[in-house]
Structure 1
Amino acid sequence: MTVTNITAKPAATAGEPEAGLLDALRRTETAVAAMRSGDPEPYIACWAEREDATLFGAWGPIEKGSRALFDTFRWVGSRYAGDRSPVKATVENTVIASSGDLAYTVGFERGTVGVDGGRKQEMVIRVTHIYRREHDAWKLIHRHADFPPPDQRQSKHH
């Protein structure tokens, strides 16, 4: 697994993020790699078990409440499950910010994966995560992910 460049452009953070948040970011990266290898449980463990947890998923699901999210994460893991070989996945956080008991990251998840038994190909997902500190641990409470569209400023018809 590639080490996350978690200090890339920490624009909105005053100095280095605190150790507990850095640990949560590393756990999330490890969990993303496990998910893309077909094992959703490490990613589920990164989440708060709360009814206000939310997901705007890259493959369409919009969910509220940890039970619905965890079911969706297991469905996502099953889509990757055809090949249990370890997947190289990277998380590139371009922004890491925190204030009080809330933090967020904005960036990309990249990796070469097979979906639904298909051939492996590069997958890039644009992701915003929101974390909340609960009982001295940072837990995910929101994920908004999508497949980045082409930059329309680059088209000839702008």
Structure 2
Amino acid sequence: MAVTDKDIADLVARAADANAALMRGDVEGYFALISLADDFTLMSPFGGPPSRGFDMSSDRVAALGRFFRAGRTALELVQAYASGDMAVLAVIERQTAEVGGLPDQDWSLRVTLVFRRDGTEWRLVHRHADALVHGISLDQAAAIARGEAELHSRPGGQA
């Protein structure tokens, strides 16, 4: 079954609504809209190795809900790609929020979402996000790539 324009529009709308819920700290609302595949991978905007799977324990979900607060969001579709039972959304999540105890600020991300159709349901199989919506210099990028950028660690291990 080919991916239709309606499938893409529905995925974009669900991704926008889910992200809005997450940035308000409504993790249950996020997961009501987005179903993760068993083989889900995440490349978080904080860097480090990709994670596989997702800890859906009540403690982890509650902690995630406390991490995001007071978010206001808009999702900008950059490009959508589809083939077979796969759909890829390249988006910019334009948002402000209180994240990890930091004050309300711009928290916009460049994001790639990969969905796979499983029967009649679309499951998120991969999310890659980075905070490079505002460009950086070659020297800054090189320092980050070398692991030499000055990053101040925050409690809980988040940079």
Q: Deviation at 1:76?
A: 3.7
Matched-pair contact (CA < 8 Å) for 1:36–1:113 = yes
Give the whole-Å Cα distance in 1 for the aligned partners of 2:62 and 2:113: 18
The residue number in structure 2 matching 1:34 is 21
Matched-pair contact (CA < 8 Å) for 1:44–1:73 = no
Matched-pair contact (CA < 8 Å) for 1:59–1:146 = yes
Q: Structure 2: which amino acid aligns with 1:150?
A: G
TM-score, normalization by structure 2: 0.71
TM-align CA RMSD: 2.9
Matched, 1:101 2:85: yes
The residue number in structure 1 matching 2:135 is 150
Q: Which has the higher contact order (CA 8 A, sep 6+)?
A: 1
Identity among equivalent positions (%) equals: 30
The residue number in structure 2 matching 1:23 is 10
Q: Deviation at 1:119?
A: 2.2
TM-score, normalization by structure 1: 0.71
Q: Deviation at 1:125?
A: 0.7
Give the whole-Å Cα distance in 2 for the aligned partners of 1:105 and 1:69: 28
2:40 to 53, 58, 65: 53
Q: Deviation at 1:74?
A: 5.2
Secondary structure of the 2:51 match is strand
Query: Which of the pair is proportionally richer in strand?
Result: 2
Structure 2 portions without partners, runs of 5+: 141-159
Query: Which of the pair is proportionally richer in helix?
Result: 2
Secondary structure of the 1:67 match is coil
Structure 1 portions without partners, runs of 5+: 1-15
1:120 to 87, 98, 104: 104
Quickly say closer, same or farther: Cα 1:72–1:141, change in 2 above 3 A. farther
